[in-house]
Amino acid sequence: MLLLGIQPAMALEHSFVADVVQRVAPSVVRIDTERPVERQPFDPTLIDPLLRDLLGDPPQGPERERGQGSGVLIDNKGLVLTNAHVVERVDAVTLTLADGEQRDGQVIGTDSVTDLALVRLEGRSAPPSAPLGDSEALEVGDWAIALGTPYGLERTVTLGIVSSLHRNINSLGFSDKRLDLIQTDAAINPGNSGGPLVDAAGNVIGINTLVRSGPGAGLGFAIPINLARRVVDQLLDQGEVVHPYIGLQLVPLTARIAREHNKDPNSLVQLPERSGALVQSVLPDGPAEKAGLRRGDLVVAVADTKVPDPQVLLEVVDSARLGEPLPLHVLRQGRELTLSVKPAALAGMS
């Protein structure tokens, strides 16, 4: 007999998002960290005696700073992929699994240039790993699902789409990184860093890394999983990631910008009215200086690749072999030169 119009329970049809979460969520972990922070030296004699009586003497020694982020298990041996900024310079790492169990973690390696890191989950057994997808197969408009622990709220899931691909991180104000990011409108907040961005089939396509605040807020960014695979391989094989560099600070130049510059009667130099990567400065004792590059040179090609902007040159350099000559085609004061530069390893980044 039905009471008060209550209908018999019916099986609910869950969305594809629920299916993805059921598949991937067991592989997502919360990462809690501690790092020492040195206090600024302070002369206790400068404290008012009345305040000392009320508050006591200031604490001595280093403080402990706590941090939090997310990570995702990528193999059955307890290897966790996360952001470098989550676990850099920490001396204690605790991983909280999806079932609430807490275990210690050991940082295997970090790479600040790509903001990626590996942490080993301590213990004999590990939860199932998340399947890794192919970020090169993504199209703008594909579904994107972000999992992680924003603001300490565990097992949080947000849904959006891939808003853009190959978003250069330098355009977001990070000049010390080398990343083409996946842009998404899936909500990514503090604490999501290091968690997975997943496609509609439940495959990890990226590692959440940052959200833009202020103007343009609501835009999230993730590191493509194909790049993460390469970084993982190098960290496991070599303990560090080698990034070739040539020692140039570059700005984009177009024919239009050059024409406007050249019309200015106060211009100190005339720029070639072509697109390319304009050398703004040359790092002292770097490979580019040794090869003869100067401020004001315009790089228009590298090897057989045209250089319409600095990003193309940086991509070629990043995939170049260390110490092997790389020909740069340069315009200098109306002359075209070919200079040979030998990329070197960027020091102090691993």
List active site positions.
85, 115, 193
- Residue whose structure tokens are 């992680």: 148
d(CA 26, CA 99): 8
Q: Which two three-digit tokens encode residue 129?
A: 């790993």
- Identity of residue 186: A
HEC readout, 5-56: CCCCCCCCCCCHHHHHHHHHHHHEEEEEEEEEECCCCCCHHHCCHHHHHHHC
Of 132, 334, 339, 136, residue with least CA distance to 246: 339
CB distance 154 to 100 below 8 Å: no
CB distance 114 to 81 below 8 Å: no
CB distance 309 to 277 below 8 Å: yes
- Residue whose structure tokens are 């808003």: 163
| Paired strand residues for 117 | 82, 110
Q: Which two three-digit tokens encode residue 72?
A: 């995702």
Q: What are phi and psi of 331, to 5 degrees?
A: -100, 130
Write the CB contacts of 305 (distance below 8 Å, at least 6 apart in sequence).
312, 316
Q: How many helices (H) and strands (E) does the chain have?
A: 7, 20
Q: Which two three-digit tokens encode residue 18?
A: 């629920």
d(CA 222, CA 336): 40
Helices within 84-224 (DSSP H only): 84-87
